[in-house]
Chain A
Amino acid sequence: MHPQLQKLVALQDIEAMISEAKEQSSELEGMGFNLDGLASLQEKADSLAGEIEKRHLGYYRRLHKRFGHAVVPVVDNLCTGCFANIPASFVSATNENLLQNCESCGRILYWP
């Protein structure tokens, strides 16, 4: 996997975790979970973002603003963001180290 994609996936996971901890805090705290580490998790997200090339991060932020999820999994050859078909050539070994976007919606593609 493209190393920048790996970082974008980790960033999206952490940012989603932060939003969830904020939005569902009363529910999670009701179950006994302590969310004191929110600030340190935010620091972790910031430092991860710092490891991502500016052009990739900028594109990720724009997609995030527009769609919520910037990186989407490809399942059964479909972009799970817009359900467009992803050509088989996208998954060939020669493309393994490319950062690829859905040709239809532009979201960053990830093969789980």
Chain B
Amino acid sequence: MDIAEVLQHTSPELFLPELEAGDKAGVLAELVAGLVAGSPTITKQDAVLQMLESREALGSTAVGPGVAFPHGRTLAVQRLTVLVARSGKGVDFDSVDGDPTHLFFVLIAPPQDSGHKYIKSLAALTDKLQDDTLREKLMAAADYESFCAALGEE
């Protein structure tokens, strides 16, 4: 799966250019509030938050250098949805390398997704975000369009 395909599951409404929260719990809540505000079919804020918190209990999703990929399946969503968020100041997200996390790619999917579209999207993103120059461009992008353009570049 390529990045262009992953980007079909997000939208300008699902882009949070500057998170306010300064800790992990606050960021998770802000990300979920963003999902509910940006997606008309997601309404059960508590269920989504509970799922993402459980996922962090399994192991921190902050695995990329400066990047976290909170993800999972929940009954509370009807289709694969991707939200993108940034934190200029960085947040302690229990990252594998101990460094603060600046970029967040949230992927949530319904329980039934036989093609494993979300696992493939996750694989495409975790791979792509290894690139230092790309992450710098994403942090500097002025808006959603330039963010997606940078992400879509080969």
Contact = CB atoms under 8 A, between A and B. Distances in A.
Interface of A: 6, 9-10, 12-14, 16-17, 20-21, 24, 27-28, 30-38, 40-41, 44, 69, 71-73, 75, 80, 110, 112
Interface of B: 41-44, 46-47, 50-51, 54-55, 57-61, 63-64, 72-78, 96, 110-112, 119, 122-123, 126-127
A51 B54 CA distance: 17
Contacts of B122: 31
Contacts, number: 85
10 closest pairs, A vs B, by CB? A32-B63, A34-B59, A31-B126, A37-B58, A13-B51, A13-B74, A37-B57, A41-B58, A37-B59, A14-B54
A19 to B, nearest CB: 10
A107 B118 CA distance: 25
A9 B75 contact: yes
A58 to B, nearest CB: 20
B94 to A, nearest CB: 10
A100 B143 CA distance: 45
A13 B110 contact: no
A74 to B, nearest CB: 11
Given A38-B58, A44-B57, A69-B112, 9 more contacts: A17-B54, A17-B55, A27-B119, A30-B123, A33-B61, A37-B59, A110-B75, A112-B42, A112-B76
B66 to A, nearest CB: 13
